[in-house]
Amino acid sequence: MSEVNGRNGAPVDLAAWSCPLPLRDSPTVVMGHGGGGALSAELVEHLFLPAFGPVGELRDSAVVDVGTARVAFSTDSYVVRPLFFPGGSIGDLAVNGTVNDLAMSGAQPLYLSTAFILEEGTALADLGRVAEALGAAARAAGVRLVTGDTKVVDAGHGDGVYVNTAGLGLVGPGVDIRPGRARPGDVVLVSGDLGRHGVAVLSCREGLEFGTAVESDTAPLHGLVAAMLDTGADVHVLRDPTRGGLAASLNEIATTAGVGIEIVERQVPVPPEVADACAILGLDPFYVANEGRLVAVVPPVDADRVLAVMRGHPHGSGAAVIGRVTAEHPAMVVARTGLGATRVVDLPVGEQLPRIC
Amino acid sequence: MSEVNGRNGAPVDLAAWSCPLPLRDSPTVVMGHGGGGALSAELVEHLFLPAFGPVGELRDSAVVDVGTARVAFSTDSYVVRPLFFPGGSIGDLAVNGTVNDLAMSGAQPLYLSTAFILEEGTALADLGRVAEALGAAARAAGVRLVTGDTKVVDAGHGDGVYVNTAGLGLVGPGVDIRPGRARPGDVVLVSGDLGRHGVAVLSCREGLEFGTAVESDTAPLHGLVAAMLDTGADVHVLRDPTRGGLAASLNEIATTAGVGIEIVERQVPVPPEVADACAILGLDPFYVANEGRLVAVVPPVDADRVLAVMRGHPHGSGAAVIGRVTAEHPAMVVARTGLGATRVVDLPVGEQLPRIC
Per-residue confidence (pLDDT) for residue B50, from 0 to 100: 92
Over chain B, what is the mean pLDDT? 91
Whether residue A52 and residue B27 make contact (CB cut-off 8 A), yes or no, is no
Whether residue A29 and residue B145 make contact (CB cut-off 8 A), yes or no, is no
Whether residue B51 and residue A132 make contact (CB cut-off 8 A), yes or no, is yes
Spans of all domains in chain A: 62-171, 176-344
Residue A252 has pLDDT above 70, yes or no: yes
Q: Which residue has the higher pLDDT, A42 or B99?
A: B99
Instruction: Please give the Cα distance from B99 to B97 (Å, whole number).
Output: 6
Residue A258 has pLDDT above 60, yes or no: yes
Per-residue confidence (pLDDT) for residue A12, from 0 to 100: 43
Residue A121 has pLDDT above 60, yes or no: yes
Of the partner residues B48, B62, B147, the one whose CB lies closest to the CB of residue A146: B62
Per-residue confidence (pLDDT) for residue A321, from 0 to 100: 98
Number of H helices, E strands in chain B: 9, 14
pLDDT in tens, A122-161: 999 999 999 999 999 999 999 999 999 999 999 999 999 9
Cα dihedral B13, B14, B16, B17 sign: positive
At residue B97's C-alpha, the angle toward residues B96 and B102, to 5°, is: 95
Contact pairs from chain A to chain B, CB under 8 Å? 282
**Nearest partner of B225 among B289, B165, B298, judged by Cα:** B298
B199-238: burial string, b at 16+ Cβ within 10 Å, e else:
bbbbbbbeeeebeeebbbbbbbbbbbbebbbeeebbbbbb
Residue A11 DSSP class: B
Per-residue confidence (pLDDT) for residue A57, from 0 to 100: 67
The beta strand positions in B120-259, using DSSP E, are 144-153, 161-171, 187-190, 237-239
Of the partner residues B55, B61, B159, the one whose CB lies closest to the CB of residue A153: B159
pLDDT in tens, B249-259: 999 999 999 99
The beta strand positions in chain B, using DSSP E, are 62-66, 69-78, 84-85, 88-89, 107-119, 144-153, 161-171, 187-190, 237-239, 260-264, 295-298, 320-326, 333-336, 342-344
pLDDT in tens, B134-184: 999 999 999 999 999 999 999 999 999 999 999 999 999 999 999 999 999
Sorting pLDDT into bands at 50, 70 and 90, what band is B212? low
Instruction: Determine phi and psi for B152, rounding to 5 degrees.
Output: -120, 135
Per-residue confidence (pLDDT) for residue A66, from 0 to 100: 93
Total count of residues recorded for chain A = 357
Q: What is the number of other CB atoms lying within 10 angstroms of the CB of residue B156?
A: 12
Cis before B82 (ω within 30) = yes
Instruction: Please give the Cα distance from B72 to B60 (Å, whole number).
Output: 10
The beta strand positions in B178-306, using DSSP E, are 187-190, 237-239, 260-264, 295-298
Q: What is the mean pLDDT of residues A288-296?
A: 98
Q: What is the number of other CB atoms lying within 10 angstroms of the CB of residue A184?
A: 14
CATH, range A176-344: 3.90.650.10
| C-alpha pair distances (Å), B195 with each of A306, B265, B284, B292, B336 | 59, 14, 9, 10, 19
pLDDT in tens, A331-344: 999 999 988 899 99
Of the partner residues B34, B69, B79, the one whose CB lies closest to the CB of residue A69: B69
Please give the single-letter amino acid code of residue B301: V
Residue B185 DSSP class: T
CB A228 within 8 A of CB A303: no
**Residues of chain B with C-beta less than 8 angstroms from the C-beta of A114:** 48, 52, 75
Whether residue B150 and residue A76 make contact (CB cut-off 8 A), yes or no, is no
Residue A113 has pLDDT above 50, yes or no: yes
Of the partner residues B114, B115, B128, the one whose CB lies closest to the CB of residue A47: B128
Shortest Cα–Cα distance, B55 to chain A (Å): 5
Whether residue A110 and residue B149 make contact (CB cut-off 8 A), yes or no, is no
Whether residue B66 and residue A121 make contact (CB cut-off 8 A), yes or no, is no
Per-residue confidence (pLDDT) for residue B53, from 0 to 100: 85
Burial class (CB in 10 A: 0-12, 13-18, 19+), A176: middle
Instruction: Please give the Cα distance from A214 to A247 (Å, whole number).
Output: 21
**Nearest partner of A150 among B58, B181, B107, judged by Cα:** B58
Q: In what order do the strands lie in the sheet with B161-171?
A: B62-66, B69-78, B161-171, B107-119, B144-153
Residue A244 has pLDDT above 70, yes or no: yes
Instruction: Please give the Cα distance from A199 to B347 (Å, whole number).
Output: 47
Whether residue A75 and residue B35 make contact (CB cut-off 8 A), yes or no, is no
Instruction: Please give the Cα distance from B119 to A156 (Å, whole number).
Output: 12
What DSSP letter does each residue of B294-321 carry, written as one string?
Answer: -EEEE-HHHHHHHHHHHHTSTTSTT-EE
Sorting pLDDT into bands at 50, 70 and 90, what band is B353? confident
Instruction: Please give the Cα distance from A168 to A291 (Å, whole number).
Output: 19
Lowest average pLDDT, out of A147-161, A297-311, B49-63, goes to B49-63
Q: What is the mean pLDDT of residues B5-27?
A: 49
Share of chain B above pLDDT 70, in %: 91
Per-residue confidence (pLDDT) for residue A280, from 0 to 100: 86
Residue B279 has pLDDT above 60, yes or no: yes
**Residues of chain A with C-beta less than 8 angstroms from the C-beta of B131:** 47-48, 51-52
Sorting pLDDT into bands at 50, 70 and 90, what band is A204? confident
CB B103 within 8 A of CB B170: no
Shortest Cα–Cα distance, B161 to chain A (Å): 10
Per-residue confidence (pLDDT) for residue A20, from 0 to 100: 40
The torsion defined by the Cα of A195, A39, A294 and A17, in degrees rounded to 10, comes to: 100
Instruction: Please give the Cα distance from A216 to A202 (Å, whole number).
Output: 10
pLDDT in tens, A32-74: 999 989 999 899 999 999 999 877 666 778 999 998 899 999 9
Q: Which residue has the higher pLDDT, A318 or A55?
A: A318
Superfamily of domain A62-171: PurM-like, N-terminal domain (3.30.1330.10)
> Residue B332, CB half-sphere, CA atoms under 13 Å: how many?
22
**Residues of chain B with C-beta less than 8 angstroms from the C-beta of A156:** 156
SS3 for B225?
helix
Share of chain A above pLDDT 70, in %: 91
Per-residue confidence (pLDDT) for residue B14, from 0 to 100: 37
Radius of gyration over every alpha carbon of chain A, rounded to an integer in angstroms: 20
Per-residue confidence (pLDDT) for residue B152, from 0 to 100: 96
CATH, range B177-344: 3.90.650.10
Which of A28, A40, A101 has the most B C-beta neighbours within 10 Å, making it the best mutation to test the interface with B? Answer: A28
Sorting pLDDT into bands at 50, 70 and 90, what band is B5? very low
Instruction: Determine phi and psi for B81, rounding to 5 degrees.
Output: -130, 125
CB A101 within 8 A of CB A60: yes
Instruction: Please give the Cα distance from B177 to B306 (Å, whole number).
Output: 15
DSSP H or E run through A119: strand A107-119
Instruction: Determine phi and psi for A215, rounding to 5 degrees.
Output: -105, 150
Residue B18 has pLDDT above 70, yes or no: no
Is-same-fold flag (A62-171; A176-344)?
A: no
